[in-house]
Amino acid sequence: MGTGTSRTNESPSGKINFSTFKARIDRVKINGVQRTYDDYLERTSKKLFAAKNVQELLDGVKETRAALLELGVFKNLSATVDTSKGKDASPYGYEVNFYGEELSRITGSVGTEIDQHEGCFVSELSTPNLFGRGERLSLNGSYSNLKTSELQLKFFKPYYHTRYGDYKPEISFALLRHASLFDWSKFKTEQTGVAFETSGIFPIDTLVHTLRYELYVRDTIAMFKHTPFFVREYCGPKLANVLSYNVVYDQRDSHVFPTEGIRVSTSHHLINSSFKKLGYLKNDLHAELNCPLFAGMSVQLSGRVGKIVPLGDAMEPIAISDKFFLGGPQTLRGFVVGGAGEQKEGAATGANIYWLAAAHLWSPLPFSQYFGQFGQLFRTQIFCNVGHSGDFTTENLRGAIGVGLAFRLGDRARIELNYTQPYRTQKGDLPKAFQFGIGYDFT
């Protein structure tokens, strides 16, 4: 009789089908909370109370645990599920208990991080959950293999406990100093100033909006004695006001090796050196489409386009560090960074307009199924990319084809080792056959 009952709740694969068992959440309790306010935690369990069967209950527990960890107040968190007991217990009732340990008042970390084009050594000292609703004050510094450095004092405040909590609104304020090298144009920049940022997700979960304002002094410095004069004209400290608006729509099945889905990101930066001038508007658009094929293979089509538009009657000079530099393993493969555009005295001049397009055929490694999870870290690609800077025409087109091997780094970044063969170049271009790329945003 027991055997007959269990079979009625089995799926065709022989596993128990938990969706056939009714369930109702009677109680959810979060244990181990000392400094955190209840209203900051309540929203995370809202979906859990909507469970109608045991399978939805188990899925809800996983989602709720992930949401609680995302709040940035717990060091670790576990969960238990038990049937309801007592006179107030309902039929098919369950109780869920979460057991957490809050982060200490002061935390520190030292490690490495993957950024676009580079790997960074990062250290941070922070005070998490400062006022009981996820606030964080942090001091962090970083230094990369490309000699990029940053020092930042940042205050972060989420508003998940408000009526708009479903949109994950966040604000931050930072004092920062940032230094970058532009080897391809033989100069470097040092920026010191303040930044204010707010972000949210609406009207759907896959659409992220970010609004950022920066006010800083940007010092452009010639790196060498032989840095060309046209670069030196931009040198010296200048005030910069930057108002940025970014939108990202991402429904891909993976951030690193997607096989299906689309991603569209757009950024707009209003830049000027005086509160009395409009300055110029820097626009950038990146789109990507992924389609699955067979045997684990997929095709990827992607493209980028950017344009800087001067505003107002008084034409403000466009800073060379704000211009577009085409080329490199993240953009136009087959050329060095800044090597697919106009060169003057051995330095890239940058452009106010650029576009590029690429097609990739991605495939697992041969016999990757025999290597288990390790084999899933690698993918091979065959690609063709074309692009141009200076205008939107195809007269001075650059293009390259190639093959490559990619390696996954966590859930956000990857390493690419490619061999490329440029099939169309222009005078002064700097092609490169073997390329090594590391980052999270590739075309």
Contact by Cβ (8 Å): 106, 127? yes
Q: Is the pLDDT of residue 422 over 80?
A: yes
Determine the straight-line distance between the first and last CA of the chain, rounded to whole angstroms.
61
Contact by Cβ (8 Å): 94, 56? no
Query: 103: number of CA atoms within 13 Å, CB side?
Result: 24
pLDDT at 258: 94
Averaged over 332-359, what is the pLDDT? 93
306-320 per-position pLDDT tens digit: 999 988 765 678 999
189-218 per-position pLDDT tens digit: 999 999 999 999 988 888 999 999 999 999
Question: Would you state the structure tokens that stand for residue 75, as one six-digit string?
Answer: 């060091």
Q: How confident is the model at residue 163 (pLDDT cuts 50, 70, 90)?
A: confident
DSSP string, 296-341: T-EEEEEEEEEEEEE-SSS-PPPPGGGSB---STTSSTTB-TT-SS
Tell me which fold the domain 24-102 belongs to. Answer: Ubiquitin-like (UB roll) (3.10.20)
Averaged over 409-423, what is the pLDDT? 91
pLDDT at 78: 93
21/322 Cα distance (integer angstroms): 60
pLDDT at 61: 92
426-440 per-position pLDDT tens digit: 888 999 999 999 988
pLDDT at 378: 92
Q: Sign of torsion, CA 240 211 72 248?
A: negative
Identify the CATH class of 159-439.
Answer: mainly beta
Question: Would you state the structure tokens that stand for residue 141, as one six-digit string?
Answer: 């510094």
Averaged over 409-433, what is the pLDDT? 91
Instruction: Give 303's strand partners.
Output: 287, 357
Where is pLDDT greater, at 201 or 395?
201
Q: Is the pLDDT of residue 5 over 50?
A: no
Per-domain residue ranges for the chain? 24-102, 159-439
258/279 Cα distance (integer angstroms): 38
133/141 Cα distance (integer angstroms): 25
Averaged over 281-308, what is the pLDDT? 95
Q: Is the pLDDT of residue 408 over 50?
A: yes
Instruction: Give 355's strand partners.
Output: 305, 388
Hey, how many other C-beta atoms are within 10 angstroms of the C-beta on 124? 16
pTM (2 decimals)? 0.87
Contact by Cβ (8 Å): 199, 182? no
Of the candidate ranges 18-22, 238-242, 412-416, the one whose mean pLDDT is the lowest: 18-22
Where is pLDDT greater, at 300 or 371?
300
Of the candidate ranges 159-168, 290-299, 394-403, the one whose mean pLDDT is the lowest: 159-168
pLDDT at 118: 83
pLDDT at 171: 97
Q: How confident is the model at residue 287 (pLDDT cuts 50, 70, 90)?
A: very high
303/284 Cα distance (integer angstroms): 11
